[in-house]
Amino acid sequence: MKQEYQELILQTCGASSLHVGAKIQTLWSGYGEIVRLHLEACDRPSVVVKHVKFPDEADHPSGWNTDRSHRRKVRSYQVETHWYQNYSTTQSCRIPACLAACSYGDEMLIVLEDLDVAGYDQRSTRVKDREIRACLSWLAHFHALFLGVATEGLWPVGTYWHLETRPDELEAMDDPELKAAAGDIDRILSGCHFKTIVHGDAKLANFCFSPSGEDVAAVDFQYVGGGCGMKDVVYFLGSCMEEKECEKRVPGLLGHYFTELKGSVKKDMDFDALEKEWREMFAFAWTDFHRFLLGWMPGHWKVNRYSKQLTKEVLHKLKQ
């Protein structure tokens, strides 16, 4: 780690020294890494550092190594830095505190609170109903907090699969009917009356749990921006349940989300109108992500019967 980075972290945290601990993960397509740093003689035993370094040549696991893809990633890290520096949430939708952020040429550094130390030290690949409901509660409180809030410095339209940023994947699709309808689906979602700020990448892997599984915090805000809250909900549910589970459990889990949302929005909000609109957007939001997958990785496990059925329903509605 460069000396200027170390000095920034030591000064920010008031520590006497630091040493690099375990690498938490490599960033997508080799754009850097996330590491834990251990500190001495300060009130923080550790911090988590997201160190972005734009590669000379990206190594995308699915072969999408284009200039457009690179520009999108660069913008995503700029957005994430802006998010952490300028937006805050409540305990009901906990995120790590940003302690420092800076840019040096083709490198960026974000120094974050270590959520493990804060009590969110559990990660899950398979979750029980309790953890799913905790994440949906987090999303509901997050969406309620940012209802009607301007997306200054963020993506105008959040989510990493937004149609306007994914023309290559649209072109690669082998589903002419859905390809033709993609623009209409995007316009319907973007035309929602009730807009909020969406996390944009609310998959299970981006949630950190307390030991009980009842409390949760979220990370990774590269694609945070405006939109309908259903985009986060469908992406999260699709990230942790297979098709048969979705068919059986989605109605009840949606009910939980809207109950939490109702308890979190301002009292003068026309909640019935909001719920009616967003419930209608559920299938459109799911189909929108399905559209992306069909172009990006058509063999993905999320391209399943449940997704195809919702897409069929949406295409039928569009014809009517």
Alpha helices, H only, 31-128 = 67-86
E-state strands within the chain = 17-26, 32-40, 46-53, 98-104, 107-113, 196-198, 207-209, 216-218, 225-227
Q: Which of 44, 4, 52 is nearest to 25 (CA)?
A: 52
What is the average pLDDT score of the chain? 95
pLDDT for 57 equals 63
The CATH number given to whatever domain includes residue 25 is 3.30.200.20
Per the structure, the complete domain to which residue 82 belongs is given by 3-113
Cα–Cα distance for residue pair 49/5, rounded to 1 Å: 10
140 in helix, strand or coil?
A: helix
Residue 101 placed within a domain? yes
Classify residue 122: in a domain, yes or no.
Answer: no
Same domain, 140 and 237: yes
Residues 82 and 175 in one domain: no
Which of 113, 147, 171 is the last residue before a domain boundary?
113
Give the CATH number, domain containing residue 139.
3.90.1200.10
The pLDDT tens digits of the residues spanning 32-82 come to 999 999 999 999 999 999 999 988 765 545 545 688 888 999 999 999 999
- For the stretch 244-299, pLDDT in tens is 999 999 999 999 999 999 999 999 999 999 999 999 999 999 999 999 999 999 99
Who's near 196: CB < 8 A, 6+ residues apart?
Answer: 142, 143, 144, 146, 147, 148, 149, 226, 227, 228, 229
Rounded to the nearest 10°, the torsion over CA 215, 84, 197, 211 is -10
Provide the 10 A C-beta neighbour count for residue 12: 15
Domain boundary among 61, 82, 113: 113
pTM: 0.95
Percent of the chain with pLDDT over 90: 90
> Is residue 123 one of the residues assigned to a domain?
no
Domain shared by 9 and 136, yes or no: no
